Amino acid sequence: MTPRADHLTVEVVDLIGTVVARYHEEYEHAASQHSLTGAQARVLGLLSAEPLPMRRIAQRLKCEPSNITGIVDRLESRGLVERRPDPADRRVKLAAPTDEGRRTAEALRGSLNFAREPLGRLTVTERTLLKELLQRMLGTAPE
């Protein structure tokens, strides 16, 4: 049942590997345009949607909370993020973007041209098809 190492599957995995490499490359490049590292850009992007406790950030990024301390430190020292107390729990610190942080996050989204360049080669029908295939692959399809 499970495709072991048949030729087709190997080809697809290879292609996905290429997509992964290309995506990373562009993400890092977009981040460095704004003097940010990839990790910093990811955290800033997360926070621009919604302020989060340090712990939650770590869960989203699947890393240790102690790691987030440093990343938020660097973002904070650039004035892109600030730590706010959580009124509901004094142990918790909420990381929230500043106005400049929000602007940077917005600019970051704009300069991530992975969306435009490779996907621009596909028609709307093809993009729809690709979406459905990826959803099924990831098990996020609505059945």
Partner DNA sequence: CTGAATATTTCATGCTGTCAAGTAATTGGG
Partner DNA sequence: CCCAATTACTTGACAGCATGAAATATTCAG
Is 132 within 8 Å of 141 (Cβ atoms)?
yes
Binding mask 113-142 for a second copy (x = CB under 8 A): -xxx-xxxxx-x-xxxxxx-xxxxxxxx--
The pair of three-digit structure tokens given for residue 97, joined into one six-digit string: 């973007």
Q: Which of residues 51-70 bind a second copy (CB under 8 A)?
A: 62
Q: Which residues of 22-52 are buried (b: 16+ CB within 10 A; e: fewer)?
A: eeeebbeebbeebebeebbbbbbbbbbeebb
Stretch that binds DNA, among 13-21, 31-39, 112-120, 127-135 (CB under 7 A): 31-39
Answer for which of 26, 29, 38, 82 binds DNA (CB under 7 A) is 38
- Site for a second copy contains 8 (CB under 8 A): yes
Q: Which of residues 79-118 bind a second copy (CB under 8 A)?
A: 114-116, 118
DSSP 8-state assignment for residue 60:
H
- Site for DNA contains 70 (CB under 7 A): yes
Place of tokens 């706010």: 84
Binding residues for DNA (CB under 7 A): 37-40, 53-56, 61-74, 83, 86, 89-94
